Each structure stands twice: as structure tokens, then as C-alpha cells.
Amino acid sequence: MNAVRQTWDTGYEWKTVTLLTLGFGLVGLDRWIIAPMFPAIAKDLGLNYQDLGNLIGALGLAWGICAILAGGLSDRLGRRKVLVPAIVGFSLLSGFTGMAQGLTSLVLIRALMGIMEGSFCPTSFAATAEASEPGRRGFNLGVQQSAFPLFGLALGPILATQLLRVIDWRWIFILVAVPGLIIGALIWKVIRDPATAGASASVERAKLSEVLKHRNVALGMITLMCAMSGIFVLSAMVPNYLVDYLKLSVQQMGFVTSAIGFGGFLGQVVLPGASDIFGRKLVAIAGFAFGAALLYAFARLGANPAALFGLLFASCFFCFGLLGLITGPIATEAAPRGLISSTAGVIIGTGEIFGGGIAPALAGGVAQHYGIQHVLTMALAGLVTGAIVSLFLRETAPKHIAGAVGSREPA
């Protein structure tokens, strides 16, 4: 390990982590800023809860399908040729969202955005993993993914609800499209393809059929479905739950909803990094268990903005931390040789199709026909199931594997 640290290109590592962190933050912002603005959009275009669920679901389904395909594509073509068109594409489509005239055009634009973001996601994780010194892999992947809730679900609701006071929702979508074009140009200049990315690169790839051989790939799919069906239902429906069921003001809603992002930001830094020390399996089990307990308490609280913020922050600390853990170190460490992006794409794609696509659409139907308060039960069920499935994960943290090997060696 000391030899690796001495020869590792740390300058390239931190440039890569910084750029892809900003890029993934913009993925979160462009994806989720629609939720806190939906009350205004719904009033303008005549939409309802089911329409919101369908909008979130259309993006998630497209994201999931494309993540599976694009992961393998970037393993063959290189990272830059996928990352740059993807970030430019979803940024432009975010701007086009502000030009939509009805539900049909909104669904089409958001589905196309899902294709672009689904391409960016596993490719960016693979590029970060390849650039990272192995002992920092979990931490770096957590930092990258932490920007998703920070930009999209912490700063996004505050930015959106404050801007709505002075400009129309359409212009907000156009404004948030600009930074992605700048980051895309920088990614093209900085990011290297696997053959020259650093000490972890390999010129020989395993067969694609080997992707599903590691137990954690199948378990990663299931646990990610559980985590995403929990947190993405919350991200889509909590703004309307707070306004329509608990009767908070729009500004109070923006404050409370930002807890999803701030808690998620911290969780995605802490949990993957903690798994470098305590192990992937233990941290996954604890994350699901604590996230479920705190969400249960949130669902039984009344219209108390400060207390709602605290419980939602704490629950999402664990929920989003799980997303970073499963799609980051668990996925990349289960990958066969040379197929990091392909493996991450399979896990992320499956989780997105159900948790990010089908689950929000189902939640929209539940909210429309039975009451929006019942969507919290859906999220809770996903987290409880995830805790049970995590019991069967295989430990892959480098420190713990090295320790296990060392304990079997003769003194």
C-alpha cells in the first residue's frame, strides 16, 4: 500500500473528484428542482399528484434503462466520450423544461433528461473509482455522490422557492442549465480514459457475462431498489405533503424540504467513508435500520417545521448515505476486471427502474386516491426490507479483506 501511495497521481485524483462532484451535483439540481416548484407548475399547467409521480417516474425509468447500457459503452469507448455529451445534454434539457406547455411535453423532456443523466451516472462513478487510491475509494465516491442531494435537495428547494418570489418558474429551469455547459468543457479537458487513468487501470477486460457472478451485484440491485424507493418517494412527495397535508407555507416547505439534501449530503460523505473503516456490510445494515426508525418518527410528527427538519435531516443522512455506499464502493468492488462501469450501471439501472421510476409513479397514485400521507408508509417499507437484505452482503472493504487474510496467516 505504501508503494501505491508513493506513485499515485494524487493531483489527477483530486481534479477528477472535484469535477465529477460538481457534475453530479448538477445532475441532482436539474433532476429535483422540479419538486419544490411543482405547486406553481401544477397551478399553471393544471397538473395533479399522479402527474408529479409520472414525471419523476419517467425520468427514473429512462435513467435506469440507459445506466445499464451506457455503463458498458463507456468501458469500451472511454469515459470522456460518454460524460461530455451526457452533461451537455441534460443541461440543455433542463432549460427546455422551462419551455414545456403541458404534461406530454414535460414527460418527454424529463424522459430524455433521464437518458442523459443515466449515461453520466455510472460512467462518472467508474472514472472516480479509477482515479482514486484504493484506501480512499469509498470516501471519494461518497464525496462525489454527496453533491447530488446537496445541490438538488438542499440548495435546490431554497433556491427555487426564493426565486419564485421574483421570476416565473420557467426562467428558473433556464438559469440552472448554464453551469453544466461549463463543467462539460472542463471534463473534456481533464478526464482521462481507463488505459491512462492511473494505477488501477487495466488494458484487459473480463467477459461481460461475469458481471453477475459476485453475490453483491444481485444484492446491490435489491438493496438499491429499497433505498431508492424510500428516498426518491420522499424527494418527490414531501414538498406537497408539507403544503397540502401539514398546511405549511411555501417558504416553510422549502426550509423543511432542504433537510433531505443537507442530511443526504452529509450522509453520502460519512457513510461510504465510514465503510472504509467499519466495513460495507455493517454500515449498510445500520444505515437502513436507523433511516427507517427516524422516518417512522417523522411520519408521526405534526406541523412543527424545526422538528420536521431535524427528523428528516437525520433520516436522509442514512438514506442517501446508503445510495452512496451501494452505488459506490459496494458496486465497484463487486466488478470483474475492467468492467467497473458496466457493473455499476447494472446495479444503478435496476435500482433506478424500480426505486426511481416505478415507485414514485405508484406513490403518485397512492397520494391521488388514498391521501398523500400514505406515501411515507411506502418509503418506510422499502427501508425495512433493505435492512433485512443487507444481512446477506459479502464484505469487500480492502481494509477488512486484508485483515481477514492476515488473521489466517501463520504467525
Quick: pLDDT tens for 261-317.
889 889 988 998 889 889 899 999 999 999 999 999 999 998 899 999 999 999 999
User: Do 261 and 157 contact (CB within 8 A), yes or no?
Assistant: yes
pTM (global) more than 0.75: no
Local confidence band at 109 (pLDDT 50, 70, 90 cut-offs): very high
Mean pLDDT score, 177-206? 72
Q: How far apart are CA 130 and CA 107, in angstroms?
A: 35
The pLDDT assigned to 359 comes to 82
**Residue 199 identity:** A
All three cell numbers of 342:
458496466
All three cell numbers of 115:
437518458
C-alpha dist (Å) from residue 203 to 70, 188, 337: 19, 21, 9
Mean pLDDT score, 67-71? 75
Neighbours of 209 (CB within 10 A): 8
Please name each of the domains of the chain with its CATH number: 10-192+208-404 (1.20.1250.20)
| pLDDT > 80? residue 61 | yes
| pLDDT > 50? residue 72 | yes
Could you give phi then psi for residue 339, rounded to 5 degrees? -125, 40
Contact partners, residue 206, CB within 8 Å, separation at least 6: 336, 337, 338, 339
Mean pLDDT score, 1-24? 78
Burial class for 391, CB neighbours closer than 10 Å (0-12, 13-18, 19+): exposed
Quick: pLDDT tens for 126-157.
888 888 887 787 788 878 888 888 888 788 88
- E-strand ranges in 88-214 read none
C-alpha dist (Å) from residue 206 to 72, 73, 358, 367, 385: 12, 15, 32, 46, 32
| pLDDT > 80? residue 342 | no
Q: How far apart are CA 411 and CA 409, in angstroms?
A: 6
DSSP-based helix, strand, coil % in the chain, nearest 5 = 85, 0, 15
Shortest CA distance to 86 belongs to which of 63, 52, 103, 68?
A: 63
The C-alpha angle with vertex 28 and arms to 187 and 177, in degrees rounded to 5, equals: 65
